[in-house]
Structure 1
């Protein structure tokens, strides 16, 4: 099982964005030193708490200060830009990173982003599907492209202005051929989008704020999609993100990870609960679809969704998660606001150097 890193990020509103952006960079630099496989960074345009507005721009600052870790948009919101822009920018990033790039994609779920862009009344899932088809077509075709796909609003050509002798009208192709690994974050239980991912060989990452009993539905749908095109699914392709805090002692794990009023984990799930209720997507926090809203409390979310404890306790909880969800290829550690940098960095260190070796030893032993 690989170890990855994911940050939305999500910071208290009073914090200085200059400081939090640097902290988010430092966390990924540390992840690189500790041997994390990849680092996904989210993006939003209109969220003061989640203040990375362009994941590729943020990640570009990490190329020269990291050596091994793959840098992943987590995600690029495809409804926000013309696919020609996204195809060109992602291809350039892949060259800058010399292949240390994963293209994480999503429609863009934040309603205030859509309102600011003037697309609130549009079907962002359809925009997403049309955009990725055009991005892949750009990467697969040669100039002048002449992309005019059925029922797709985006038409791309440079036929009228191409000048091959001087390179005009030609867009870059990615460093990785035919293109980088493509990963989609999955939030909804029984998501049909995961079936489509399987058909197209995109790889799913199950969100860290989804209750564990819903996770197996993601694998079942992904496997259905793979088998529908005659390919056997590989568990190495499936990532599960989880909210994890590892401490040297039980008291610190309980307070910083769950119970203290200043816990970044409590803040995170207070924000997420509020946001999901506002968008009527809080079914992800329920034990069954018809469960009463009153059962979804902050304390329950923290207890259910935060894996916190000493090294041995976290190992046991990850192995229990694997029993519930089934086998998967990567556990993705969710980054929080650094209320206490020492504890935050120590948790990542323990996760990489002690928890994961024991998890993999236990899996191998089974």
Structure 2
């Protein structure tokens, strides 16, 4: 497995947006330096705890200051966009990053965001897939546009001009055809897992998934994939809360109510409970029990051993995705990512 990183990002309500952006930037630069292969960014339109409203914009902002790390949206909620706007933005960001964009496909996990877009009564899952089909056509189209679908009519035939170059979409970087598509996997028997396996797309298994639910996602992906087992496992990324310490006596501090890990888990647990999406936690109900099943803690050596055991249980996946938590000006927490980067073997 390779190393990657995910920024939900989930912070206390009163945290300044600029501070969140700066922490993400500094962290991504660190990960790029230490050879992480991917960085993923969440997005919600209107959320006091999760203030990144565009994962594409965050990816674009980091494209020119990073060198090798791929920049992934997790997810871009395609149903909130007109396909023409989205295709143009994707092409631009992919060229900014020299082909390092990974496109996460979503349809809005926050019902309040769906409401804000007046899409409550829509089948948003199917709408997102419809937008994606059109976007992929636009990114590969060499001529003027004329596309009709259930919800969109897109044309540049009337006012486009070959001589002036009007009505023609830009392509991905160097006209590449291998844009990686990815979807998240949360609750058991996820349709995202089945669809991605059938289509050959990647999945990221959520850091809120109990190990038994992780196994469910892996088994279902393998069941529906046409790839060999080894190839299919490489398409699966696993997100985990990971807390690495220098002193093993500090390992249990992750479970303190004041720790950034518990703060993030508490907020997301409330959101998932509100939306009746708690199947990812398996049979665990108490937050303390959930935390102990989700957070990998210990010294670099201990964490390496726990990851080795996990690999034995589920297989050699494509990447292990470290979930970033807010920096809190406490060295015992804030140094975890650096220790993971430098000292943990996976």
TM bucket normalised to smaller: over 0.9
Which residue is equivalent to 2:339? 350
> TM (normalized to structure 1)?
0.89
Q: Is the 8 A contact 2:91 2:170 kept in 1?
A: yes
Partners of 1:41 and 1:132 lie apart in 2 by: 19
Over 3 Å counting, the alpha-carbon distance change for 1:140 and 1:65 in structure 2 is closer
Aligned match of 2:142: 142
239-248 or 179-188, which moves further after superposition? 179-188
Listed one character per residue, the Cα deviations across residues 46-96 of structure 1 (whole Å, up to 9, x for unaligned) are 111101111111222212221111111121111111122111101110001
Whole-angstrom distance in 2 between the partners of 1:107 and 1:68: 29
CA contact (8 A) 1:143 1:158 kept: no
- How many residue pairs match? The answer is 343
Instruction: Indicate which of 250, 253, 258 corresponds to 2:255.
Output: 258
Q: Are the counterparts in 2 of residues 183 and 202 from structure 1 also a CA contact under 8 Å?
A: yes
Deviates more, 1:159-168 or 1:136-145: 136-145
- Kindly state the Cα deviation for residue 123 of structure 1 after the two structures are TM-superposed: 1.6
1:189: which partner in 2?
188
Contiguous gaps of at least 5 residues in structure 2: none
What secondary structure, in the 3-state scheme, does the structure 1 residue paired with 2:88 have? Answer: helix
- In 1: Cα distance, 2:83 partner to 2:186 partner: 23
User: TM-score normalised to the size of structure 2?
Assistant: 0.94
User: 2 CA distance for matches of 1:314 and 1:81?
Assistant: 41
Q: C-alpha distance in 1, partners of 2:94/2:334? A: 28
> Residue 345 of structure 1: CA displacement?
4.8
Instruction: Tell me which residue corresponds to 1:333.
Output: 322
Greater mean alpha carbon deviation, residues 338-347 or residues 114-123: 338-347
Q: How many Å apart are 1:179 and its aligned residue?
A: 4.2
Correspondent of 2:295 among 285, 306, 327: 306
Which residue of the partner structure matches residue 64 of structure 1? 64
Contact 1:162–1:169 (CA under 8 A) maintained in structure 2:
yes
Matches within 5 A, 1:101-180: 101-149=101-149, 152-175=150-173, 177-180=176-179
Aligned residues of 1:82 and 1:131 also touching (Cα < 8 A): yes
Alpha-carbon contact 1:186-1:205 (below 8 Å) kept? yes
> What is the match of residue 240 of structure 1?
238
Judged with a 3 Å threshold, the aligned counterparts in structure 2 of structure 1 residues 173 and 202 are, in CA distance, closer, same or farther, namely: same
SS at match of 2:102: strand
**3-state DSSP of counterpart to 1:3:** strand
Shift, 1:193, TM fit: 2.3
Counterpart of 2:310 in structure 1 is: 321
Q: Which residue of structure 2 lines up, in the alignment, with residue 221 of structure 1?
A: 220
CA RMSD of aligned residues (A): 1.6
Specify the alignment match of 2:277 in structure 1: 281
- Report how far residue 341 of structure 1 moved: 6.0
Rounded to whole Å, the distance in 2 between the matches of 1:142 and 1:339 is: 50
Report the Cα distance in structure 1 between the residues aligned to 2:332 and 2:179, rounded to whole angstroms: 34
Quote how far apart the aligned CAs of 1:267 are: 0.5
SS at match of 2:163: helix
CA distance in 1: counterparts of 2:330 and 2:137, whole angstroms = 44
Q: Unaligned stretches of 5+ in structure 1?
A: 288-294, 360-366
Q: Check whether the contact 1:39–1:71 (CA below 8 A) recurs between aligned residues.
A: yes
Q: Is the 8 A contact 1:39 1:70 kept in 2?
A: yes
Task: Indicate if the aligned counterparts of 1:77 and 1:105 stay in contact, CA closer than 8 A.
Answer: yes
